[in-house]
Amino acid sequence: MTSGAEAGPPPAGGGARGAPGWPGGAAATLTVLIATPLEAGHVDRIAAADRRIRVIYEPGLLPVPQFEADHAGQPRDLSPADLARWSDLRSRAEVSFDFDWQDPAGMTANCPRLRWVQGTSAGLGGFLERTGLARTELVVTTAAGVHAVPLAEFALLGLLYLAKDVPRLSRLQRARQWEMRHFRQLAGTSAVLVGLGGIGRETARLLAAAGVQVTGVGRPGRCYDVPGVTSYIADTEIDSALPGADALILACPLTERTRNLIGARRLGLLPRGAVLVNMSRGQVVDEQALTAALHGGHLGGACLDVFETEPLPASSPLWAMDNVLVSPHSASTVDAENRLITDLFIDNLGRWLAGSPLRNVYDRAAGY
């Protein structure tokens, strides 16, 4: 359940090392397609990273971003000529910054020269499986590490939101009602943190600084050295740690190993009043069991950035629960995101051109 910052080449044929002949090879340029909305300054930085890079970027053909660092956006009403233009541009790409907005599943056919895609998300496993790209020889690198700080901040926010009973304070403020009461102290509490990759590491550091004792949960047989973690257990031993946890924080990738990791039985192992923070993927938790544990009062609250179905249906009872903080899968989206992803991409471009191992290569066997 760890996501390494740097990975070596995948099996033969994957092409995780740079294009043959770099540097000084036969090829004179490397054609890079920017397939997602990106600020012009960042595009210029990519183009200036190496004289051999040729950037293709036509923002008028890309979806319209609805907020800063929106990599989905709203589709444009493109003419047949515009669509033909996009088809021509993507067919030239050897490297793509993000996936084709129009037909990601068809990238290997529509982009015959394409060898590597730099994703803009850390958790690409489910997407790659759904589109079939996980079963191709296309090299994919994730944005692992880019979102670590904002998600760690989200985890701390969730714990403080519930410890300080912000929902009750908001109700009293709206009612102009002065009602003194006691609150819980976060320092001195304990948390079980599932996932010790970039997000987990930053979360452990931040929680430890707030005085929280963190038990880290990783994969069996792995050795971890994560600042802020006071003890480690394998995910096969998670049941032993839950009864003593004031909080359960999920920061793991979605794989077959973690799917439905937390169900009714494990929620029941948590002490009454414990809270859950999920910034992993909705499918890691049985949402129906979570809702029941919240409604019945066994859980003290939940801070959720991800859900089994997204957008969260209006009929979901989670919307109306005072002890639940609903975030629309955007806790990782901050104003610095595009700059950080561009930094990562530029570093990887240098590695690709030098024939060196890329950072954050998607591991098909592990699923992240």
Identified catalytic residue from 58, 68, 137, 310: 310
Length of the chain counted residue by residue: 368
Q: What is the CA radius of gyration of the chain?
A: 22
Q: Are 37 and 59 in contact (CB under 8 A)?
A: yes
Angle among Cα 66, 148, 363 to the nearest 5 degrees reads: 95
Residue of 281, 351, 359, 364 marked catalytic: 281
How close are the terminal C-alpha atoms of the chain, in Å? 9
Is residue 184 part of the annotated active site? The answer reads no
Residues 6+ apart with CB under 8 A from 181: 165, 168
Query: Choosing from 168, 184, 257, 329, which is the catalytic residue?
Result: 329
Contact 243, 220 (CB under 8 A): no
Distance, in Å, from the CA atom of 354 to the CA atom of 167, rounded to the nearest integer, reads: 53
Nearest to 270 by CA among 280, 278, 262, 260: 262
Structure tokens at 173: 């403020």
Question: Nearest-CA neighbor of 29 among 82, 100, 95?
Answer: 95
- Separation of CA 245 from chain center: 24
Q: Is 329 a catalytic residue?
A: yes
Residue 310 is a catalytic residue: yes
* Catalytic residue numbers, as ranges: 281, 310, 329
